[in-house]
Structure 1
Amino acid sequence: MERYEVTINRIAQGEIPIEEGIEWFKALPEEEQHKALRGMNLCIHQSHPRELEIEEGIKLSGLKETYTPCVIMRKNTFNSARAKVLALPSHEWLKAFRLWLAIFTIADSRRRSTDCQAGCDHWWHNLEML
């Protein structure tokens, strides 16, 4: 587990307020922002968001639906969209982070309340053990 994934999970699970998490991302040097986005890519992949959760995430993110990361996530298959978002130029990364954080928060919350309701051994669902 990378420190980025731990922080991202803490934000998504409400241990770190979303706005504080966004400020954390903004304060990272550009190279580190891209590493954090790659960590977010792993997190969002493992949460298996449903199509409806992507739509909800776009709304929750507070981004305009016409922003590039939103259009990419809406118009492409999930795996293709993730690759395209990671390939965006650095001026799009904050939008991508906000969007993916919202989608991840929704999808992971569902997974914790369904698939992992009776407990699991996913480290990201057991942050108190870290």
Structure 2
Amino acid sequence: MKESERIINEIAQGLRGLDEGAVWFSGLPQNEQKRVLREVVSYAMQAHLTAEDGREGVRQSGVKPTANPAVMISLDPPRERLGRIVQLPPGEYVRAFRVLVSAFAVADTRRRNESCRGTCGHSWHNLSANS
């Protein structure tokens, strides 16, 4: 599992704090930040993110609901707008990361509880604090 995949999923599962993840993300070069944003978008789409997941993610992210990435992820259907989040200017990347990871955490938690409960073989759903 690559570092970004582990960190994103640790945040989503509450094994790593969002603030800590945002510090890690902020330390990446700009081109890597954009790559990580694309990665989170992909994970959110795989988790079947809904607009309600997006709105709850915004609430948990610490980002103002009027910020561009927060508005984009909260409107129906969010899947149409997710790809546009990576097109935001670099000054929005950290807010976008916070919103995307928080919304992904909501969607992925729902997915783990509904679809993977007791039968999941996904390595990224079976992390532990010691992994």
Q: Please, what TM-score do these two structures have when normalized by structure 2? A: 0.88
Query: Is contact 1:2-1:39 (8 Å) kept?
Result: no
Deviation at 1:108, TM superposition (A): 0.8
* Structure-2 residue corresponding to 1:30: 30
**Percentage of pairs with the same residue:** 36
* Structure-2 residue corresponding to 1:12: 12
Alignment of 1:1-130 (within 5 A): 2-75=2-75, 77-127=77-127
Q: As a proportion of its length, which structure holds more helix?
A: 1
AA aligned to 1:40 is: V
Aligned residues: 129
Structure 1's consecutive aligned runs of 4 or more residues displaced over 6 angstroms after TM superposition are none
Deviation at 1:77, TM superposition (A): 2.6
Instruction: Identify unmatched segments of 5+ residues in structure 1.
Output: none
Query: Is contact 2:52-2:74 (8 Å) kept?
Result: no
Instruction: Identify unmatched segments of 5+ residues in structure 2.
Output: none
Query: Is contact 1:69-1:99 (8 Å) kept?
Result: yes
Give the Cα–Cα distance (whole angstroms) in 2 for the partners of residues 3 and 10 of structure 1. 10
Give the Cα–Cα distance (whole angstroms) in 2 for the partners of residues 74 and 51 of structure 1. 5
Q: State the SS of the aligned residue for 1:95.
A: helix
Q: State the SS of the aligned residue for 1:127.
A: coil
Q: Deviations over 1:53-96 (max 9, x none)?
A: 11111111111111111122233532221111011111111111
Q: State the SS of the aligned residue for 2:119.
A: coil
